[in-house]
A = this chain, B = another copy of it.
Amino acid sequence: MSTISHEAAFAALQAGAQKVREIGEPSSLAIVDSGGNLVAFMRVDDASLSTVEIAQGKAYSALALRSPTGNWLEAVQPGGALYGLDALGGKRPFVVFGGGLPVRSGKSVIGGVGVSGGPVEADITIAEAMLHELQQS
């Protein structure tokens, strides 16, 4: 896999939705390509409206920063080395708490997944399920 096909994206959304049901945290699921542009999105029943933007922001941030979103939480804090980084996303603010993961193919980052809905730990678990599915494709 060097790019994310829509079939792979479908499968990842379904894997994410299944995990949402298992853990009982209605969530939005987003997948972006290597350019940070939306490939696929699903708001699983009853996820709050706030999650629509945040899930997309996490997917974008994980791609643009090439790392799990939560990795930046400490550095952007008051006194941290990258204070203010979260405001510097350009087309949308960077999300710096967990739930966004980069999608890798070999050494390249070819996309990002983002989940928003429950506590950060739940978001990460669901994002990992989506990523696992993408990496089977």
Question: Which A residues are within 8 Å of any B CB, using their own CB?
Answer: 5-6, 9-10, 13-14, 17, 33-45, 48-50, 52-54, 57, 61, 63-66, 73, 76-79, 81-91, 93-97, 109, 120
Contact = CB atoms under 8 A, between A and B. Distances in A.
Contacts of A63: 49
A38 B45 contact: no
A95 B88 contact: yes
Contact of A52 (B37, B66, B78, B83): B37
A39 B43 contact: yes
Smallest CB-CB A-B distances: 5 pairs: A35-B35, A53-B90, A41-B41, A49-B64, A50-B64
Contact of A48 (B5, B66, B81, B95): B66
A52 B81 contact: no
